[in-house]
Structure 1
Amino acid sequence: MTELQTYGIAIIGALIAGGINTLAGNGSAITLTILTEILGLPPNVANGTNRIGVFTQCAATSWVFHKNGKLNITRNKKYIVPIFIGAIAGGLLAINVSNEQFKAVFKFMMVFMLIAVLVKPKRWLRETDLEFRPKWYIYIPLLFALGFYGGFIQMGMGVFFLIIMVLGMRLNIIESNALKGFVIGLYTLLLIGLFHYQGMIDWKLGGIMALGQTAGGYLTARFASKNKKADQIAYYVLITVLVFAIIKLFLR
């Protein structure tokens, strides 16, 4: 396989991952696999390099969702701070500790997430509950832990985010996806600086992957912002992502 063909596969895979990340999550399972298995990066460098495409994709989707009235930062700002702080703590740990051991239990977490998504599906198709006020002593530690996970290993972060925001904070799934992109993009920008400082980013390969991820995220966000059935589509994409991820994790 030529270098051009390798990069072509990487961009196409990243484009698909960008679309999956925008509507559901776990697209990093694709990009991390490409970075390690096809492009040959060590796992810790792949973890850092992957953040470039995550940031550019999140920036593109946030702009589209904001432009189309799906991103409400003011109403959800109380959720952003604990996630951001947790992500920085997780990123600092990721710089010094390998996340390979964590992957041993990741597949069981994915099964739990699939069960949470399938139980009472109507909860995933409702509008944002504007009257709901979660207790601070519940959502602050919960979202800190969520951010910590995202900072430590990005893979699966989007799915966890949707479960907590839709089921726990009672946000609409599309609004949750819009907020997800903004928050992840926010802390990822800082994490890129941390990973770069430690020499754990390949900017050339990260830039190539970012082309696909950004395009995939942008196009999917436009679709999700304007399609009346976007809630249902996002829900079914989420189920599909989880099922395929579980099959892959248990069969390998």
Structure 2
Amino acid sequence: MDYILLVLAGLGAGALNAVAGGGTFLSFPALVFIGIPPIMANATATLAALPGYIGSTWGFRKDIRAAGPVSLLAMIAMAVIGGLGGALLLLVTSKETFSAIVPWLLLFATLVFAAGPWLMRHVLGQGKALPLVAALGLLLAVSVYGGYFNGGLGIMLLAAFGFVGFTNLHEMNGLKNLLSSILSLVSVVTYSAAGLIAWKPAIILGVACAIGGFVGAHLGRRITNMAALRLFITLVGLGMAAAFFIW
């Protein structure tokens, strides 16, 4: 039953990530539900999401460029430093502390996801870019968050790119996938060195996520009501957050 749950969660998470995001709301709770400690579940869920990030980066490879005030090399550096910093922060967080903040992290990620369209319209409508130091600081902060907890990372990176000065959504998506891949890879290597990866569940979940992402990418073209899908994912996230608050 544990394997069946992981396969179903992986298929759902991969499909959701392919069309709208929010896959963490399924993969992370599934790992905790089968008995994996929250910190290890968080690390394992990040590993399971990594193939999807890499695949998306390859799909957007022609759109990856840095047309804003921050160079591509500088953004990659922030992703590496932030991903490592967030992973190390997770390593020094006690099990009790992380278990206590998990519901708040899920709730925060859900609210960020729900506010995504409004946030993007607001950010892109400003037409102003942050100074270089502030832009680097913002990207570093988001990368630290992504290295610590992966939920909601995509929309947070997109919003950060808007503040940095990007306006082309294709370029922003390409950079989002690239930085997500890099910081997640750095985090996963750190988690692995610390023995935080549950490898068998990770492999099952990762393969299922990859299949779900492939199917979701094709089905996503047929979805006409993205608002309803976003509402559904938001309700799932709120439900998972509520379950962890109660649990």
Could you state the TM-score of these two structures normalised by the residue count of structure 1?
Answer: 0.75
Are 2:160 and 1:160 equivalent residues in the alignment? Answer: no
Tell me what 2:48 maps to: 53
Tell me what 2:238 maps to: 246
Asked whether the 8 Å contact 1:18–1:27 carries over to 2, the reply is: yes
Equivalenced residue count is: 237
Counterpart AA for 1:90: G
The structural deviation recorded for 1:159 is 3.1
Give the % identical residues.
Answer: 21
Asked whether the 8 Å contact 1:26–1:158 carries over to 2, the reply is: no
Unmatched 5+ residue regions in structure 1? none
Tell me what 1:44 maps to: 39
Counterpart AA for 1:106: L
Counterpart AA for 2:183: Y
Is the deviation greater in 159-168 or in 210-219?
A: 159-168
Is the deviation greater in 173-182 or in 79-88?
A: 173-182
Q: Secondary structure at the match of 1:26?
A: coil
Asked whether the 8 Å contact 2:84–2:190 carries over to 1, the reply is: no
Q: 1:120 to 1:88 in 2, by over 3 A?
A: closer
The structural deviation recorded for 1:123 is 5.4
Tell me what 1:86 maps to: 82
Counterpart AA for 1:241: I
The structural deviation recorded for 1:178 is 3.2
Give the Cα–Cα distance (whole angstroms) in 1 for the partners of residues 217 and 53 of structure 2: 10
Give the Cα–Cα distance (whole angstroms) in 1 for the partners of residues 226 and 172 of structure 2: 11
Q: Secondary structure at the match of 2:52?
A: helix
Asked whether the 8 Å contact 2:15–2:209 carries over to 1, the reply is: yes
Unmatched 5+ residue regions in structure 2? none
Note the alpha carbon deviations across 1:63-122, whole angstroms, 9 max, x for none: 2222xx4x3145461433323311210101111214323234336635753674354775
**Aligned partner (choices 25, 30, 34) of residue 34 of structure 1:** 30
Q: How does 1:113-128 map to 2 (within 5 A)?
A: 113=112, 116-117=115-116, 119=118, 122=121
Kindly report the root-mean-square deviation, in angstroms, between the aligned alpha carbons of the 2 structures. 3.5
Note the alpha carbon deviations across 1:11-39, whole angstroms, 9 max, x for none: 2321221232344433112111111103x
Could you state the TM-score of these two structures normalised by the residue count of structure 2?
Answer: 0.77
